[in-house]
Amino acid sequence: MDGEPIVRWHWIGDHLAYLRDLTLDHAVISLVPVLIALAVAVPLGLLCARVPRLYQPLSAVFNVVYALPSLAVFVVLIPYTGLATRATVMVPLTFYALAVLLPTTVDGLRATPEAVRQAATAMGYGPWHRLAAVELPAAVPFLVAGVRVAAVSSISLAAVGALVGRGGLGYLFVDGFQRTFPTPIVAGIVLVALLALTTDLVLLLARRLLAPWASGGAR
């Protein structure tokens, strides 16, 4: 509307609890799928690293899934998962995250030089012991890098879920647009950005704690 300020601070002050609840809901909707995808990507990536012929077909499938418009996928799922349910948003986000995490997991598991594997075997490490003590630690920087990309992408995509009734901070965009009221839109943009930044910083700290030798590597 003409003369409407970009931000009405009193509205934000009156809705702090509402904004907190939406942020928490958005965090659950967007980050739980990334954790699920990580739990699937590690064993699947291990299988692809051990059986290379499986990697290209699986990678192609997930790349196709990642290319699908998120809103269209949400709408297609409504008859099966229901309108305004977390599952409608979280299921596609899990597959999107998996499409990002599978390649980084395979790259990480392949990052251990063959000479290091042979040295570990010569020291008496069995396949599982070598995996736990050598290959997975070497893959940590790759895994965390993939999780960082997947998490930030998921936080962004989750807002679209508001159009099917469950989108956390995305409600603010819909509400502001419907009422021609920019304050919720600005608040939503800032909170999504802060959530993404906070998540990324936490993951960066986790990488430095889990793989301090890689602190100067890719970011």
Residue 103: inside a domain, yes or no? yes
What gap in Å lies between CA 88 and CA 79, rounded to an integer? 9
The answer to whether 198 touches 27, Cβ cutoff 8 Å, is no
Q: Does some domain include residue 57?
A: yes
139-175 as b/e: b if 16+ CB within 10 A: bbbbbbbbbbbbbbbbbebbbbbbebbbbbbbbbbbb
Going residue by residue through the chain (219 aa), what tens digit of pLDDT does each one get?
456 678 899 999 999 999 999 999 999 999 999 999 999 999 999 898 888 899 999 989 988 988 888 888 988 888 888 887 889 999 999 999 999 999 999 988 887 767 777 777 777 777 677 777 777 788 888 999 999 999 999 999 999 998 887 889 999 999 999 988 999 999 999 999 999 999 999 999 998 888 777 665 444
In a domain, 3, yes or no: no
The pTM for the full model equals 0.87
- Token pair 């012991």 is at which residue? 129
Domain count, the chain: 1
- Which structural domain, as residue segments, surrounds residue 108? 9-214
Taken in order 100, 101, 106, 112, is the CA torsion positive or negative? positive
Residue 161 in tokens: 């879920």
| CATH number for the domain that contains residue 120 | 1.10.3720.10
1 assigned to some structural domain = no
62 in helix, strand or coil? helix
